[in-house]
Structure 1
Amino acid sequence: MKRLALLLSLLASLASADVQVNALFEGSAYLLVDGQQKLLRKGETFRGVTLLDANPERALIEHEGVRHELNLSSRINANYRENTTREVVIHRDNQLKYMTNATINGRTMAVLVDTGANLMALSSRHARQLGIRYKEGEPAMVSTASGMARSYRVLLRSVAVGGIVAQLVPAVVVEGDFPTEVLLGMSYLEHVDMQEKDNILTLRARY
């Protein structure tokens, strides 16, 4: 009877465990635990969930002695299923920016949501890190804070934020170190509906 009671208690605790990753950073992560959002730093515990490690690509958590590795917008519950809702929640950081992670042509990089940019924009340094042959694109000149710079119009094979994937996304690659962050511009954002409230930006797939 004691073993049965222990088993039932364990099953009940697992059934109540619902964990979703909403944002990832180096050494910390925003987790949604049983409907309550919390920024956890490495080693911290919230509602029985401990963040063991985190980087911009994944979080390692522990619950009830079991470890789980999750990426952005992944979700676990008693059945350990991945979240299929095509919705991404982004919190404004302490610099008042909406930063998140995007998978560009299969590689992950931090991006800045920028509704003022018509196209996604990358520096040539970003492009090299992502393996983009940008010099094969259409050359042009753009104005930057440092003056005029050579740029190249390219098509990104795919861009994904959470579970929201867009194919053949127009972008511009600027020679040099500008922009300092990859700009997630309207050539991607046109594929989502956006809602901003209380310093939280929610992206939802349109289809």
Structure 2
Amino acid sequence: MYKRTVASLLLALPFCLVSVPAWAVHSLTVLGLFENKAVLKIDGRQRVLSAGETSPEGVKLIRADSQAAVLEIDGQRRSYPLGTSVSNTFARSPAGPTVRIWQDSGGMYATVGSINGLPVDFLVDTGSTSVAMNAAEARYLGIDFRVVGTPTMVHTASGVARAWHLTLDKVQVGGIELTGVSAVVLDGAHPERALLGMSFLGRLDMSRKNGALVLHKPY
């Protein structure tokens, strides 16, 4: 239940940028997702694509659900979560590290990683725009969120709660390490487990294979 709450809280945070290969399309934003249908903004024009359909710009929708769309661009297929904004300012990159995350007994993708070098239990949440944690977790990590963070108010299932938006120096899962990762700290005990949101995931390629969530850093 809290997963859905955090997803709704963080929609106002900036879109994440992810790297893309060299292609003819200059910019793309995933505006809306439905079962096998996606609302995209391609080079400034809004397009609604159904699975198997190709836009005039050459973007083909392979499949979609409420969390992500698989698009084929310039012959390459990648998963683009809701809210992702990409551009061709990134060149084609060599292969990078890959991490596989398996579902737990509850059907959730959970993994152990680290924030600023300290171990953290993560719950993968593609519906959360940012990495999110509770105040106790932030204190354990040595994050003085009331000093370094920007205060804000967020809506939770029990009402309005205080939160602080900040940037983490380093987040690592397996062999994938990213710096300057956007995060939010919520006052109180929720979320019970830190959420690995799109400020981290959105900078990677994501796919599902043989029951595992596969994360790949393209450079």
Q: Shorter-chain TM-score: which interval?
A: 0.5 to 0.7
Q: 1:58-78 CA deviation, whole Å, 9 max, x = no partner? A: xxxxxxxxxxxxxxxxxxxxx
Give 1:191 deviation, angstroms.
1.9
Aligned partner of residue 139 in structure 2, secondary structure: helix
Asked if structure 2 preserves the Cα contact closer than 8 Å seen for 1:193 and 1:203, the reply is: yes
- Relative to structure 1, is the Cα distance of residues 159 and 196 closer, same or farther in structure 2, using a 3 angstrom cutoff? same
Alignment of 1:114-133 (within 5 A): 114-133=125-144
In 1, the alpha carbon distance for the partners of 2:143 and 2:184 equals 11
Q: Which residue of 1 aligns with 2:203?
A: 191
Aligned partner of residue 121 in structure 2, secondary structure: strand
Q: Which residue of 2 aligns with 1:169?
A: 181
Alignment of 1:29-108 (within 5 A): 86-108=97-119
TM-score (norm. length: structure 1): 0.58
Aligned: 1:146 with 2:158: yes
In 1, the alpha carbon distance for the partners of 2:158 and 2:107 equals 24
Asked if structure 2 preserves the Cα contact closer than 8 Å seen for 1:105 and 1:157, the reply is: yes
Asked if structure 2 preserves the Cα contact closer than 8 Å seen for 1:192 and 1:206, the reply is: yes
Give 1:131 deviation, angstroms.
0.9
Aligned partner of residue 195 in structure 1, secondary structure: strand
Give 1:198 deviation, angstroms.
3.6
Structure 1 or 2, whichever has the larger Rg, is 1
Q: 1:119-169 CA deviation, whole Å, 9 max, x = no partner? A: 111100110111111112100001112211100001100001111111010
Q: Which residue of 1 aligns with 2:89?
A: none
Question: Displaced runs of 4+ in structure 1, greater than 3 A?
Answer: none
Asked if structure 2 preserves the Cα contact closer than 8 Å seen for 1:85 and 1:163, the reply is: no
In 2, the alpha carbon distance for the partners of 1:145 and 1:88 equals 33
Structure 2: gaps (5+ residues): 1-94
In 2, the alpha carbon distance for the partners of 1:169 and 1:120 equals 8
Work out the number of aligned pairs and report it: 124
Quick one: which of 134, 155, 161 aligns to 2:145? 134
Percent identity, please: 43
Asked if structure 2 preserves the Cα contact closer than 8 Å seen for 1:103 and 1:159, the reply is: yes
